Amino acid sequence: MSRSRETEYKCPYCGREFGITVYDSVETAKDPDLRDACMSGDIFRHSCPHCHTDFMVQNPLVYIDAAHKFVIWLSSQDTGADLSALSGPLDAQGYKLRRCKTLKEFTEKIQIFEDGMDDVLVELAKYDSFIEYIDNKKGDPSSVTGVEYQRADNGVLKVNVRTDDRGMSFLIPVYMLEEEIETNKELYEVDNRQFPCINDEWIISLFMESSGEA
C-alpha cells in the first residue's frame, strides 16, 4: 500500500513551522485517487496555516503502477549506488523502472507508460521534432520553452514544440521511430535495473557521444 508520514516543515515565506503529510510511495492499484493527485501535483502542494501561502514540496517519491507494470522514482538526486539487488525482481517481472528528476518529467512519464508507449521512442520523437522545428521551420532555439509528448493514436505519435508566443505540433508514425531504434540498438540500449533517467538530457547525450562531441 501507499506509504505516508507526518513531518514538520518550515514555511519558505513566513518561516514558521507546521506539520505536513508527505508520501514516500504511491501504489495506484490500492490508492487510485493518489494517481490523480500525482498528475495534478496536489500530492506535493501544501498551504501554510499561518500565512496561508500555497507552495510545492517535491519530496522523493516511489510511484508503483502494477496494472501497467512500471515504477517511477521521483528524485532530483541519484543515489550513486548499484540498485540491481533492489530492482532485479521487478525487472525480471517485466516492469519498466525509471527515475525522474522533475515533476514535469514525472507526470509525462506516467502518461507515456499508461498509454503503453516506449519512453525511449518518445524521447527520440521529441528530439526529432525539436530538430525539425529548428532546421525546417527556421525556428529560434532560444524561443523553445518545451517539447512535450501529447498522445499516441493509431500508430501516430503527437509531439508539441512550445515557444514563447506560439508553438507547433508534429505527427510522427511510430513505425519510423521503431525502425530507427532497431537499426541502432546499442545506441538506445538502457540498463532498466538502475532506474535510468530517460529524458531530453539523455537523448542529447546519445547524439553527442555518437558524433564524438561528448
Which pLDDT score is estimated for 142? 85
Which pLDDT score is estimated for 180? 95
Provide mean pLDDT across the span 72-85.
90
Which residues, listed in sequence order, are joined to residue 167 by a DSSP beta bridge?
162
Span 155-204, pLDDT tens digits? 999 999 998 877 889 999 999 999 999 999 999 999 999 999 999 999 99
> pLDDT class for 6, splitting at 50, 70, 90?
very high
Domain extents for the chain? Answer: 3-114, 119-210
Which pLDDT score is estimated for 52? 97
Span 112-139, pLDDT tens digits? 999 999 999 999 999 999 999 988 777 7
Which pLDDT score is estimated for 210? 61
Q: Tell which residue, 56, 57, 100, has the closest CA to residue 75.
A: 100
Provide mean pLDDT across the span 62-73.
98
**pLDDT above 60 (res 154):** yes
Which pLDDT score is estimated for 80? 83
Q: Distance between CA 9 and CA 162 in Å, rounded? A: 35
User: 5 or 213: which carries more pLDDT confidence?
Assistant: 5
Which pLDDT score is estimated for 174? 97
